[in-house]
Amino acid sequence: MSNAVLPKVRLRDLKMEDAGDRYQWCLDPEVTKHLNMPDTYPPFTRDETSEWIGMCINRSNGYEQKAILTEEGVHIGWIDLKNIDRINKHAELGIAIGNKAYWGRGYGQAAMYEMLKFGFNELGMNKIWLRVETDNEKAIKSYKRLGYVDEGILRQDRFRNGGYVDRIRMSILKNEFFN
Ligand SMILES: CC(C)(COP(=O)(O)OP(=O)(O)OC[C@H]1O[C@@H](n2cnc3c(N)ncnc32)[C@H](O)[C@@H]1OP(=O)(O)O)[C@@H](O)C(=O)NCCC(=O)NCCS
């Protein structure tokens, strides 16, 4: 897989100061619609957001969550690996570009590329998988471009706006990524 044409991004460890941007991004229902969050508005209070960022920093919640920065250092979103199964060497990925000005410009794929490298090389994973709602066409297209393949439908896997939505489970293997 080549990242030659993608914009450059940097993934860095979270900082407590990231809570402000995170809280603001989560006020936008377009950003949160397909994210695993409660139906309440806002989905998280400022305090809950700070608490969550603190748990990621301390690594007390099982997440490897990182901030996505552009080449110029603009904070545009977050990406994580969770459900890290060290025996079977697979982990679940989540991503959000919270700053909508950066949607549809290749930043999601660029961040994903860096996180896949981290997951395979640093964490020693063999497979990275994710769950995406069947109506999140933009995300599905993005993942397919990167080489993710379908593993199947997870029926009524997300409770959203008072109803259940199916999700597709997709994955990419280490050898597929590096070939
Ligand atoms: C899903 C999400 C991460 C995708 O990120 P993104 O940066 O918008 O998507 P991509 O990196 O795939 O960008 C691809 C688009 O940029 C365009 N593009 C422009 N310049 C590009 C470049 N240099 N390289 C690649 N694509 C480029 C592509 O043509 C494509 O446009 P198209 O979709 O109109 O065909 C993002 O939309 C998001 O955070 N959504 C809200 C949260 C969410 O749904 N998360 C996923 C839950 S499973």
For atom 42 of ligand 1, the residue with the nearest CA is 96
Percent of the chain scoring above 70 in pLDDT? 98
Return d(Cα 155, Cα 134) in angstroms, integer. Answer: 10
Contact 128, 93 (CB under 8 A): yes
pLDDT score for 76: 98
Question: What's the mean pLDDT in 100-124?
Answer: 98
SS (H, E, C) the chain: CCCCCCCCEEEEECCCCHHHHHHHHCCCHHHHCCCCCCCCCCCCCHHHHHHHHHHHHHCCCCCEEEEEEECCCCEEEEEEEEEEECCCCEEEEEEEECCHHHCCCCHHHHHHHHHHHHHHHHCCCCEEEEEEECCCHHHHHHHHHHCCEEEEEEEEEEEECCEEEEEEEEEEEHHHHHC
Give residue-wise pLDDT tens across range 17-26: 999 999 999 9
pTM (2 d.p.): 0.96
1 has pLDDT over 60: no
Return d(Cα 37, Cα 48) in angstroms, integer. Answer: 12
pLDDT score for 75: 98
Please state, rounded to an integer, the average pLDDT across all residues of the chain. 97
Strand order in the sheet with 149-160: 9-13, 64-70, 75-85, 90-97, 127-133, 163-173, 149-160
Regarding the beta carbon of 103 and ligand 1, being less than 6 Å apart is answered yes
Ligand 1 mutation pick, 95, 102, 154, max ligand atoms within 8 A of CB: 95
pLDDT score for 144: 98
Atom of ligand 1 nearest to the CA of 142: 12
Give residue-wise pLDDT tens across range 41-80: 999 999 999 999 999 999 999 999 999 999 999 999 999 9
pLDDT score for 2: 55
Measured from the Cβ of residue 12, the count of other Cβ atoms closer than 10 Å reads 12
pLDDT score for 4: 63
3 has pLDDT over 70: no
Place of tokens 């066409």: 137
Domain residue spans of the chain: 9-178
172 has pLDDT over 70: yes
Contact 77, 21 (CB under 8 A): no
Using 50, 70 and 90 to split pLDDT, how confident is the model at 169?
very high
Contacts of 126 (CB under 8 A, 6+ apart): 88, 89, 90, 120, 173, 174
For atom 32 of ligand 1, the residue with the nearest CA is 104
Tokens of residue 139, six digits: 């995300």
Q: Under CATH, what is the fold of the domain 9-178?
A: Aminopeptidase (3.40.630)
